[in-house]
Amino acid sequence: MTEAPKPVTAQPCDPLLIAVVLPQFHPIPENDAWWGKGFTEWTNVAKARPLFPGHHQPHLPADLGFYDLRLPQARDAQAALARRYGIGGFCYYHYWFNGRRLLEQPIDAILQSGEPDFPFCMCWANENWTRAWDGRDREVLMEQHYSDADDEEHIELLLRFFADKRYLRIDGKPLFIVYKAANLPNPQRTFDTWRKRAQGAGLGELYLAQFEAMGAGTAPDPRSIGLDASIEFTPDWRHMGGQHFATNKAKLAMALGLLPKAYSRHTVFEYELMVNRICSKASPAYPFIRCVSPGFDSSPRRPHKNAVILLNNRPELFGAWLKQALEWTQKYDATGRRVVFINAWNEWAEGNHMEPDNRYGHGFLEQTLKALQELRTSREDT
Q: Which pLDDT score, from 0 to 100, does residue 14 have?
A: 75
Tens of pLDDT, residues 89-127:
999 999 999 999 999 999 999 999 999 999 999 999 999
Give the least confident one: 34-38, 50-54, 223-227, 341-345: 50-54
Domain map (residue ranges) of the chain: 16-381
Q: Which pLDDT score, from 0 to 100, does residue 355 have?
A: 98
Assigned superfamily of 16-381: Glycosidases (3.20.20.80)
The phi, psi pair for 355, rounded to 5°, reads -60, 145
Tens of pLDDT, residues 345-359:
999 999 999 999 999
Q: Kind of pairing, strands 16-21 and 89-97? A: parallel
Which of 378, 381, 355 shows the shortest CA–CA distance to 19? 355
Tens of pLDDT, residues 55-100:
999 999 999 999 999 999 999 999 999 999 999 999 999 999 999 9
Which pLDDT band, with edges at 50, 70 and 90, does 258 fall under? low
List, in sequence order, every beta strand (DSSP E) within the chain: 16-21, 89-97, 100-102, 120-124, 129-131, 136-142, 169-170, 173-178, 207-212, 229-232, 267-270, 288-292, 308-311, 339-342, 346-347, 352-353
Which pLDDT band, with edges at 50, 70 and 90, does 281 fall under? confident
Mean pLDDT of the residues in the chain: 89
Question: Hey, which residues does 347 pair with through a beta bridge?
Answer: 352
DSSP summary character for residue 179: T
Which pLDDT band, with edges at 50, 70 and 90, does 248 fall under? very low
